[in-house]
Structure 1
Amino acid sequence: MKSKKTIIPLSLCVIMALGTQLFAETIKLDDITVSENRGGVLLSDGITENTDSYTTKSMNTATKLELSPRETPQTSLVFTRQKLDDQNITSYQDLLAKTPGVTLNKWDERVYPTARGFSIDYNLYDGMPTYSIADYGANDTDLIIYDRVEIVKGANGLMTGAGNPALGLNYIRKHANSKVFTGNIDLSAGSWDNYGSSVDISTPLTTDGKIRARFVAKHQDKKSYMDNYEKQTDVFYGVVDMDLTDTTYLSLGASYENIQRDGIRWGGMPAFYSDGTRATFDRKKTISDDWTYWNNKTKAYFVDFKQYVYNNISLNLAYSNRTMDSKTALAYYWGTVNKSTLMAETGGGLYNYESEAKEKENNLNIYASIPFELGKLDHEIITGFGYNKYDFKKNNFEGTGYISASSLNFNNINITNPNLSPNTPTLELPSKTTQKGYYLAGKFSLMEDLKLITGLRVSSWEYQANNGNGNRNFDNEITPYAGLVYDIDDNHSIYTSYTSIFKPTNRKDISNKYLDPAEGKSYEAGIKGEYFDGDLNTYLSIFRIEQTGFRDTGIPIPNNLSNAYERIDGVVSKGFELGASGNITDNFSLDFGLANFEAKNPDGSKYNTDSSRTTANLWAKYTINDYRFGAGLNYKSKQYIKSNMFNTNITQDSFITADLMAGYKVTKNLDLQLNINNLFDKKYYEGIGDNSMVYGDPINFTAGMKYSF
């Protein structure tokens, strides 16, 4: 870990921030104000910073139309900045664990999450989709640079093109929306030598505040309950927002995230002893050594431009670029363990591996927003073009292949460093995946109380490998979207929606050929509530998804590390979700979600049994003067998979974990907070498999101190 080198510049940032604060107090700056225009494409009424809210008044993830949660004809929820801070949710994986309906399916540093029985395989950043979120990068994105995360359940093909009908997470960046100098400094300490510091500063760059800047930096060093494991995270983010004229807005930004992990696992612990009984190990034990590592660097920059032309008609341009570099040195064990000696059983294999990978992604989105009035009713049309190019530059590697692991002692795991050199290029790389799409969406007020939300996307998708193996393309794929929202009264609306699904797959059959894309349909209906002028939102929905499924055969593809899959047409997932988020009183905030589904193959058997059928998350916070207290419960029902070694299932039974929070506002500038996760130290698995048994975190705490100025 190289903490000293990175903590010094961050400390200088903190010192400069304090110095500037003293100067600001000397010249007696006015109270903080927010730019009236909020200077940029993305700075809508959905901003959640400094609102103390658990919900939002506006979101555009589903259709790019600015809709309230009540007007959105799909199950939708939002993790506001206040909700993230109260629950100490700091990363992508933390977020997934607290999202109703999501099963994490953790393998090591990687997660393969599911919702409604299907994979969550893309994210959106400021509304633009990205598809490189899990495998090679194992990126656990830090959330410090985001104002909120919007979530839309079900298919989201109108905005993303290819995608699964699980859910979409849309990360909305923070912006420089203060006309005066302001900011905060955070210090934290927690279990397993977890130490963090961050600074977040906003300042005007011109006297009238029409050009503003914001800078965010974070450094974190942590160890773990796991042997050998250490992790260091550094994040830097800067953005400049400009009101060029009263009708022209420009935003420029860049970010850098560096995650370094040592003593890393690749896969998990074995599920079985050699006699076929379930193996149990201490949570701290992993199959790794101090020479293993998994490092990631992500660099990104973006441009957002908005021009109003007439009567609130706007032209919008957004561009983003991300470059991801990863390096690994890993060891994976396949086999069972002798119950008496705790030695790796004869026939078990150890695979050592090192790699260097580089990925690059470009996103472009151009669209026009055209609001208008017709028949004394308000309407809006969005029309635009989206482009995404994912360029897998390289994945150079070297591996030992499976070698005998008979000397591996699970009492004292010690793996010799093979000192490999990752210089063999993966045969199909470089490769490029390009998506293009033209879309049209509209909100039409058929009556005062009845709105039609509808749209259409025409997409193309192309994959090109360097050696031509697996090249394929699909043109003129049509994704329709239609939803009706009817206001029953001032507080309640009923809705129904429909969209189709198209998703090419990277899964292959036994002959190493790519399988045909998944196709399907998604239906949803429900009732939503909006109370206290939008401060509290509720929902109850039912859904049905008809989609192509893919099943792991458990049979390895010859000369390939992956298993063969088979395509299953006619998978059906149906279920319901209900929830409530927001402020019930000025002192009481609530966030609750429950999701249940049943997914079946055409023959009636269960589909994707590694997904919990019922999940629920509850969090409540109560404030008394300068004190606040929060408590939460997280429930996951049983999940299981079929073992490839024995004729049995590997099962994680249903479980509940509990969280607590206590905070105290010492002064108007200084705030203290304590979070405790897994209060009763529940022992459970976040990932299951023959050689991928991964425990969830034991009881842990974080104590934080925030100084605002």
Structure 2
Amino acid sequence: MQKRKLLTLSICTAFVLQMQLIGDEIEKESATSKESLGNVEIISSNASEDTDSYTIDSMNTSTKLDLSIRNTPQAVSVFTRQKLDDQNITSYQELLSKIPGVTLNKWDERVYPTARGFDIDYNLYDGMPTYSIADYGANDTDLSIYDRVEIVKGANGLMTGAGNPSLGLNYIRKHANSKKFKGNITLSGGSWDAYSAIADISTPLNEKGSVRARVVAKHEDKNSFMDNYEKTTDVFYGVVDIDLTDSTYLSFGASVEDIDRNGIRWGGLPAFYSDGSKTNLSRSKTISDDWTYWDVKTTSYYADFKQYLYEDISLNLSYSRREIDSKTALAYYYGTVDKTTKNADGYLYDYVSEAEEKEDNLNLYASIPFKAGNLEHEIITGFSYNKYDFKKNNYSGTGYISASSLNFSDINIANPHLSANIPTLELPSKTTQKGVYLAGRFSLMEDLKLIAGARVSSWEYEADNGNGDRKFDDEITPYIGVVYDLDDNHSVYASYTSIFKPQSVKDSSDNYLDPIDGDNYEIGIKGEYFDGALNTYLTIFRIEQDGVGEDTGRVNSKLEPIYEAKEGVTSKGFEIGISGNVTENFSLDFGLANFEAKDENGDKYNTDSSRTTANLFAKYTFNDFRFGAGLNYKSKQYTKSDFFDKKIRQSAYTTADLMAGYRIDKNLDLQLNINNLFDKKYYEGIGDNSMVYGDPRNATLIVKYTF
């Protein structure tokens, strides 16, 4: 706590000293300024679509400050619309597999991804954090309605409040930026009867083009290399953007994503035969039947308002709401397999559920860019509010029953015809987080910039039955970074930031432990070339997660376990990245990440996360042809078995991807993507009963018509 107070005091001191230095200059420049607001061009919104770029001019995911990638004192990256399209990345889980430093840890339809040794436990949509629980939704967000995804490595508590110091993904929606009618229709067909159609249409709604609309609709049907599996996805998104005046902007929209999955697995394949030897079952095998399903419907609404007050000073107000409804009928197997007979040696658990989640987000902030001492500065101050309302999770289950009739040569599981009629005891419940934040970018000299800020958060969990209620106030999240320009192309930086993670365990006095502190230290060098078309970085980081609750082995008067806050986990490593257009015809995206994480006893932490990962994709274009190739590497990972005194391992592996495209004319384009070209057999998830294969070789042919 003392460390946090000193850091916060240092930040405040930096603000005060800087404001004293420039205060007189602001007053002089304001007194003599005769400029009016003028005609502000709002609709560009730094969109990445309609460009061939693998990078963007600026991003504000880490601090809300308008910073270039080079001037952001953390490792950041972006998947632009062009990069997503070139690699045919269409969903959240596909995206995770292409991000350097991320291990997917897939269980079934669910993933438990990690970065830098810690769980990735939040996403952002247009800069607003969300905390919906993935277990109940098994959601796999479709990317067709997003312009790009911005990524911040390490802690991001200034903008998000609670979470782990791992990684944050910020999904930036598409907008109605066009003042003329235009659009595109995309059709695709691929392996395992995968077919999709997307229509993306923009149009002005008045003669001036000050009111514009855009609609994106998608339908996808696909089977799988897995037996029984079928998936249908329907997406609809509509947005209206309005220039109310030359200085006032309003945007509002809504989206629906409906995912229906049948023949679904719950958990993965068993790792062991009954004699303790490792299984090597077919990739098509799943412990499931055609009566199983896992359906999710996500409905979202949002509104953004921007008012320019004077020159570039703006007031910004955003609101969003998400509603997630999910239904399941599932079968889980726990045990091993007889090596000779292929009979199950374990238990089945049949389960059905109906869950409902709602989330409201509000963000109000002012952006105050200004010039003083002939140097550019910016201050951001704001308030954020997030309420996650877990309305229900009704369920029913058979419990663990003998699976003696189950044979892995021909898996058949009888439908128990359960009804989801048992309310989960802890629900309904609400998690509410509020925060006020202040951040600034100050040019101390032409070549030296200070980025500093702080957030004060409150976090509260309330269950209708009072079970587990807890509240934490005045959680301080500091942010401080320094960027120094070595020359026209290179900058060095150092930064410190943090994040906190509430806990649900108690000490010997029956009080909940304080939230876990996650502290993120980074130093690095960044490069920016060809007027920002190409960005590079090398960063070295150290993350400390302190105050982690550890079971003492004792219980209180209620027979509940007693925990003590311990030092926790330390993760340290480095990352290298290159992304952008090397020449007009050659685009490159490369990232390599390495870390080592250990607990307070010096033991390896989260060993099921690959310590080294790398992703490479390069594209060359000449005339109307383009060719791309990619490599994806993950080092070994392992976990301990609960059945045997053994480790379950996935050795290091590399997969290769290819892309070829041809622009027939200005309207029509063809593209072929092949993933896992050499048909590498590997697991994306490991565990006693959660062995999940990665996709075999597959191909997709895409036809796009633009008008």
Q: TM-score, normalised by structure 1?
A: 0.91
Q: Structure 2: how far apart are the matches of 1:216 and 1:707?
A: 14
Q: Structure 2: how far apart are the matches of 1:163 and 1:157?
A: 7
Structure 1, residues 360-418: CA drift from partner, whole Å, max 9, x if none? 00000000001112222111100000000000000000000001111111111100000
Structure 1, residues 622-657: CA drift from partner, whole Å, max 9, x if none? 001000000000000000011111111110000000
Residue of structure 1 in register with 2:285 after alignment:
285
- Letter of the 2:83 partner, please give it: K
- Letter of the 1:199 partner, please give it: A
1:665 paired with 2:660, answer no
Structure 1, residues 591-619: CA drift from partner, whole Å, max 9, x if none? 00000000011111101101100000000
- Letter of the 1:411 partner, please give it: S
- Find 1:539's aligned residue among 537, 540, 559: 537
Q: Structure 1: how far apart are the matches of 2:504 and 2:187?
A: 43
1:337 paired with 2:330, answer no
Structure 1, residues 166-188: CA drift from partner, whole Å, max 9, x if none? 01000000000000000000100
Q: Do the aligned partners of 1:203 and 1:213 also contact (CA within 8 Å) in 2?
A: yes
Residue of structure 2 in register with 1:239 after alignment:
239
Residue of structure 1 in register with 2:651 after alignment:
653
Residue of structure 2 in register with 1:458 after alignment:
456
Within 5 Å, which residues of 2 pair with 1:418-433?
A: 418-433=416-431
Q: Do the aligned partners of 1:218 and 1:236 also contact (CA within 8 Å) in 2?
A: yes
Q: Secondary structure at the match of 2:106?
A: coil
Q: Structure 2: how far apart are the matches of 1:621 and 1:510?
A: 59
Q: Secondary structure at the match of 1:85?
A: helix
Structure 1, residues 139-175: CA drift from partner, whole Å, max 9, x if none? 1000000000000101000000011110100000000
RMSD: 2.0
Residue of structure 2 in register with 1:355 after alignment:
353
1:79 paired with 2:74, answer no
- Letter of the 2:80 partner, please give it: T
Residue of structure 2 in register with 1:303 after alignment:
303
Aligned-residue offset at 1:59? 0.3
Aligned-residue offset at 1:570? 3.1
Q: Secondary structure at the match of 2:158?
A: helix
Residue of structure 2 in register with 1:44 after alignment:
45
Q: Structure 1: how far apart are the matches of 2:349 and 2:511?
A: 25
Q: Structure 2: how far apart are the matches of 1:182 and 1:552?
A: 58
Task: Return closer, same or farther for 1:443/1:519 CA change in 2, 3 Å cut-off.
Answer: same
Residue of structure 1 in register with 2:409 after alignment:
411
Q: Structure 2: how far apart are the matches of 1:239 and 1:530?
A: 34
Within 5 Å, which residues of 2 pair with 1:516-535?
A: 516-535=514-533
Range moving further from structure 2, 388-397 or 509-518: 509-518
Q: Structure 2: how far apart are the matches of 1:516 and 1:580?
A: 39
Q: Do the aligned partners of 1:582 and 1:589 also contact (CA within 8 Å) in 2?
A: yes
Task: Return closer, same or farther for 1:647/1:507 CA change in 2, 3 Å cut-off.
Answer: farther
Q: Structure 2: how far apart are the matches of 1:509 and 1:689?
A: 31
Residue of structure 2 in register with 1:367 after alignment:
365
Q: Do the aligned partners of 2:550 and 2:565 also contact (CA within 8 Å) in 1?
A: no
Task: Return closer, same or farther for 1:474/1:264 CA change in 2, 3 Å cut-off.
Answer: same
Structure 1, residues 500-553: CA drift from partner, whole Å, max 9, x if none? 221114579999997653213110010000000000000000000010386999
Q: Structure 1: how far apart are the matches of 2:342 and 2:630?
A: 39
Residue of structure 2 in register with 1:322 after alignment:
322
Q: Do the aligned partners of 1:495 and 1:525 also contact (CA within 8 Å) in 2?
A: yes
Structure 1: 5+ residue stretches without partners: 1-35, 558-562
Residue of structure 2 in register with 1:697 after alignment:
695
Q: Structure 2: how far apart are the matches of 1:364 and 1:184?
A: 33
Q: Do the aligned partners of 2:76 and 2:152 also contact (CA within 8 Å) in 1?
A: yes
Q: Do the aligned partners of 2:550 and 2:566 also contact (CA within 8 Å) in 1?
A: no
Task: Return closer, same or farther for 1:460/1:698 CA change in 2, 3 Å cut-off.
Answer: same
Structure 1, residues 431-482: CA drift from partner, whole Å, max 9, x if none? 0000000000000000011000010000000000111110000001000000
Within 5 Å, which residues of 2 pair with 1:596-611?
A: 596-611=594-609
Q: Do the aligned partners of 1:549 and 1:571 also contact (CA within 8 Å) in 2?
A: no
1:446 paired with 2:452, answer no
1:111 paired with 2:106, answer no
Aligned-residue offset at 1:566? 8.8
Q: Structure 1: how far apart are the matches of 2:418 and 2:55?
A: 50
Within 5 Å, which residues of 2 pair with 1:673-688?
A: 673-688=671-686
1:207 paired with 2:219, answer no
- Letter of the 1:481 partner, please give it: Y
Q: Structure 2: how far apart are the matches of 1:287 and 1:299?
A: 31
- Find 1:393's aligned residue among 387, 391, 394: 391
Q: Secondary structure at the match of 2:93?
A: helix
Q: Structure 2: how far apart are the matches of 1:573 and 1:364?
A: 33
Q: Structure 1: how far apart are the matches of 2:331 and 2:110?
A: 15
Aligned-residue offset at 1:308? 0.5
Structure 1, residues 104-163: CA drift from partner, whole Å, max 9, x if none? 000000000000000000000000000115211111000000000000101000000011
Q: Structure 1: how far apart are the matches of 2:193 and 2:677?
A: 18
Q: Structure 1: how far apart are the matches of 2:117 and 2:548?
A: 11
Q: Structure 1: how far apart are the matches of 2:48 and 2:550?
A: 42
Q: Structure 2: how far apart are the matches of 1:467 and 1:133?
A: 20
Within 5 Å, which residues of 2 pair with 1:477-496?
A: 477-496=475-494
Residue of structure 2 in register with 1:151 after alignment:
151
Q: Structure 1: how far apart are the matches of 2:565 and 2:472?
A: 18
Task: Return closer, same or farther for 1:240/1:66 CA change in 2, 3 Å cut-off.
Answer: same
Q: TM-score, normalised by structure 2?
A: 0.91
Provide runs of 4+ in structure 1 moved above 3 Å.
Answer: 36-40, 505-516, 548-553, 563-568
Q: Do the aligned partners of 2:505 and 2:549 also contact (CA within 8 Å) in 1?
A: no
Q: Do the aligned partners of 2:92 and 2:142 also contact (CA within 8 Å) in 1?
A: yes
Residue of structure 1 in register with 2:253 after alignment:
253
- Letter of the 1:44 partner, please give it: S
Q: Structure 2: how far apart are the matches of 1:642 and 1:515?
A: 28
Q: Do the aligned partners of 2:352 and 2:396 also contact (CA within 8 Å) in 1?
A: yes
- Letter of the 2:90 partner, please give it: T
Task: Return closer, same or farther for 1:274/1:516 CA change in 2, 3 Å cut-off.
Answer: farther
Q: Structure 1: how far apart are the matches of 2:536 and 2:222?
A: 38
Q: Do the aligned partners of 2:548 and 2:568 also contact (CA within 8 Å) in 1?
A: no
Q: Do the aligned partners of 2:638 and 2:648 also contact (CA within 8 Å) in 1?
A: yes
Residue of structure 1 in register with 2:197 after alignment:
197
Task: Return closer, same or farther for 1:275/1:366 CA change in 2, 3 Å cut-off.
Answer: same
- Letter of the 2:154 partner, please give it: G
Q: Secondary structure at the match of 2:422?
A: coil
Task: Return closer, same or farther for 1:94/1:508 CA change in 2, 3 Å cut-off.
Answer: farther
Aligned-residue offset at 1:349? 1.0
- Letter of the 1:596 partner, please give it: N
- Letter of the 1:649 partner, please give it: K
Residue of structure 2 in register with 1:20 after alignment:
none
Residue of structure 2 in register with 1:591 after alignment:
589
Q: Structure 2: how far apart are the matches of 1:371 and 1:525?
A: 26
- Find 1:570's aligned residue among 568, 571, 590: 568
- Find 2:496's aligned residue among 471, 495, 498: 498
Aligned-residue offset at 1:269? 0.5
Q: Structure 1: how far apart are the matches of 2:295 and 2:40?
A: 40
- Letter of the 2:114 partner, please give it: T
Structure 2: 5+ residue stretches without partners: 1-38, 556-560
Q: Structure 2: how far apart are the matches of 1:473 and 1:207?
A: 53
Q: Do the aligned partners of 1:260 and 1:296 also contact (CA within 8 Å) in 2?
A: yes
Structure 1, residues 180-213: CA drift from partner, whole Å, max 9, x if none? 0000001000000000001000000010101100
Q: Secondary structure at the match of 2:136?
A: coil
Residue of structure 2 in register with 1:637 after alignment:
635
